[in-house]
């Protein structure tokens, strides 16, 4: 049985492979980002000299609190739910967002964001959260956190598209500056 540290290590490695660099282990993803589970296990075990089993993979998929990975309905394929830096068509349909969404970032990026808006940079989409707690958790990974409030209702009214990933992350191509404000709720 894997411990929490092993599960986290495997999850991070799978994120690298399924979101950013499948070629690192010689894995091929289809255009929607799916990888054959048996091939993934074989390639991971050959690359890392791990004994990663299907049961281990199941634990990583089921226990990841951010639901970063998903199996196909038949369980034969796996993919990352969002966050790709490689071109993947997740097949997401445009969705109507809540009136307000949030984005957590570090204070050192604030001047650039307030000049250029939120850009996807190396990822396919800008990631937005339903709540400030999630945005805070994301922002803390980058430094001293600041939470941005996104006027998603006005963006949608202005025909900017939103998508909701399988793991409940709101995605959009770009958030122009005029829809961004500092979140001052609770202060």
Q: Structural domain of residue 127, as residue ranges?
A: 100-182
CATH number at residue 52: 1.10.10.970
Average pLDDT over residues 130-137: 94
Any domain includes 107: yes
Is 91 inside a domain boundary? Answer: no
Would 90 be classed as within a structural domain?
no
Number of domains comprising the chain:
2
Rounded (5°) CA angle 121-102-184: 125
Integer Cα distance of 129 and 18 in angstroms:
22
Cβ partners under 8 Å of residue 43, min gap 6: 25, 26, 27
Return left, alpha or beta for 16; rule: phi > 0 is left, psi -120 to 50 is alpha, else beta: alpha
pLDDT in tens, 31-68: 999 999 999 999 999 887 778 999 999 999 999 878 89
The pTM of this model reads: 0.79
């Amino acid at each position: 049985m894997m411990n929490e540290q092993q599960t986290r290590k495997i999850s991070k490695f799978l994120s690298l492979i399924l979101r950013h660099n499948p070629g690192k282990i010689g894995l091929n993803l289809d255009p929607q980002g799916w990888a054959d589970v048996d091939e993934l296990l074989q390639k991971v075990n050959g690359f890392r000299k791990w004994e990663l089993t299907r049961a281990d993979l199941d634990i990583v998929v089921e226990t990841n609190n951010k639901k970063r990975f998903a199996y196909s309905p038949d369980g034969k394929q796996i993919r990352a739910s969002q966050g790709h830096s490689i071109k993947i068509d997740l097949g997401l349909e445009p969705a109507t967002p809540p009136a307000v969404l949030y984005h957590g970032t570090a204070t050192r990026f604030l001047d650039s964001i307030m000049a250029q808006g939120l850009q996807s940079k190396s990822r396919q989409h800008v990631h937005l959260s339903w709540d400030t707690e999630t945005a805070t958790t994301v922002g803390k990974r980058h430094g001293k956190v600041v939470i941005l409030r996104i006027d998603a209702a006005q963006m949608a009214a202005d025909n900017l598209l939103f998508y909701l990933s399988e793991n409940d992350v709101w995605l959009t191509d770009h958030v122009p500056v005029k829809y961004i404000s500092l979140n001052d709720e609770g202060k």
